[in-house]
Amino acid sequence: MSNSGYDAVVDIDDEGDLGHTDLQEDLEFHNSNFNEAQTRKGASSGGGGGGGGLPPPATAGSSSSSSKRYLWTLSFYAQYFDVDTSSVLARCWAALYPRANFLDVLEGNPDLYGPFWIATTVVLILFLGGTISQYLSSTGQGPFAYDFKLLSGAAGLIYGYTLVIPVVLFGALRYFGSESANLLECWALYGYANLIWIPVALISWSPITILNWVFVGVGFGLSVAFLLRNLYPVLSATDRQTSKILLILVVALHAALAIAIKVLFFATGSPVADAPGETPPAGGDQPPAGDAPPDGSQRFFF
């Protein structure tokens, strides 16, 4: 009777007997919502564009998003920065406290957002730490000048190391037949390995030389262990002799980075900074305000 728009309700007593068979007394008729439900279902399926009310396929609107990305467009580079903050923080934590292979943490989606900002932070802190170290070592020797050669030196060292060394390593792995090498993963690995230099640069401005060497040595040990742990499965894909040479090369280049950080930014006489004796003399012997320093560098005194 549902097709007629009614529901049938039959009252049965406790003994299971139908009792009276008088339909007028024992049957109650109620309006049914069957037709209304059918009407709503048809309206929803018709408004959804067909397909029996099912949602459209995931690839229906992806034709425009899957367009080609060219090297000279921003969308080409934006895909390598498409990562959320929680993922970047999780990768930073995995770099400082490695418990699993970092390539597994990347989950096949290496990013350049974290490596870029980590390298930028290291550059700024190296400049600030090197400036503080120079100030402490030149106290009592006249006015102190901020030397922005430290900033350009830090940028060239950190950006150059993080950008060039992974490319060289990737090229060597490809040349020696490693099919598992991935350039983006190499960039991400070296970029997140720079994270350890942030706390090292924050505490290495001490005037005690041996203490600075200890801090830099600890930073080198932690970062090179992180690199070797994650690079060894990739390097071992080559022959035994080649993998040993590449491992030695990775350690040697990273040791050179650590020594450069110590010598250039946390030493009394940094090669990239001006010596304290080169500051202009005080008093009437100072050059006129319109004259620039002979070496063309900008200096600020206090």
> 122 near 198, Cβ under 8 Å?
yes
Sign of the four-CA dihedral 102, 177, 161, 261: positive
Instruction: Give the burial class of 201: count Cβ atoms within 10 A of its Cβ; 0-12 exposed, 13-18 middle, 19 or more buried.
Output: buried
- What is residue 104's predicted lDDT score, i.e. its pLDDT? 86
Q: Over the chain, what is the mean pLDDT?
A: 74
> 201 near 129, Cβ under 8 Å?
yes
**Which one has a higher pLDDT value, 292 or 90?**
90
Instruction: Give the burial class of 162: count Cβ atoms within 10 A of its Cβ; 0-12 exposed, 13-18 middle, 19 or more buried.
Output: buried
- What is residue 39's predicted lDDT score, i.e. its pLDDT? 52
Q: 101 falls in which pLDDT band (50, 70, 90)?
A: confident
pLDDT of 257 higher than 90:
yes
Query: What is the mean pLDDT of the segment spanning 245-267?
Result: 90
Query: What is the mean pLDDT of the segment spanning 263-288?
Result: 54
Q: 29 falls in which pLDDT band (50, 70, 90)?
A: low
Query: What is the mean pLDDT of the segment spanning 142-146?
Result: 71
- Which spans in the chain are helix H? 23-26, 34-47, 74-78, 85-96, 102-106, 113-137, 149-175, 183-193, 197-203, 209-235, 240-265
How far CA 36 is from CA of 3, 28, 29, 40, in Å, comes to: 12, 21, 17, 6
SS3 track for 81-134 = HCCCHHHHHHHHHHHHCCCCCHHHHHCCCCCCHHHHHHHHHHHHHHHHHHHHHH
Cα–Cα distance, 142 to 121 (Å, whole number): 31
Cα–Cα distance, 35 to 176 (Å, whole number): 73
Calculate what percentage of the chain has a pLDDT beyond 90. Answer: 29
- What is residue 259's predicted lDDT score, i.e. its pLDDT? 93
Question: Which tens digits make up the pLDDT trace of 80-99?
Answer: 788 888 989 999 999 988 88
pTM over 0.85: no
Cα–Cα distance, 110 to 187 (Å, whole number): 8
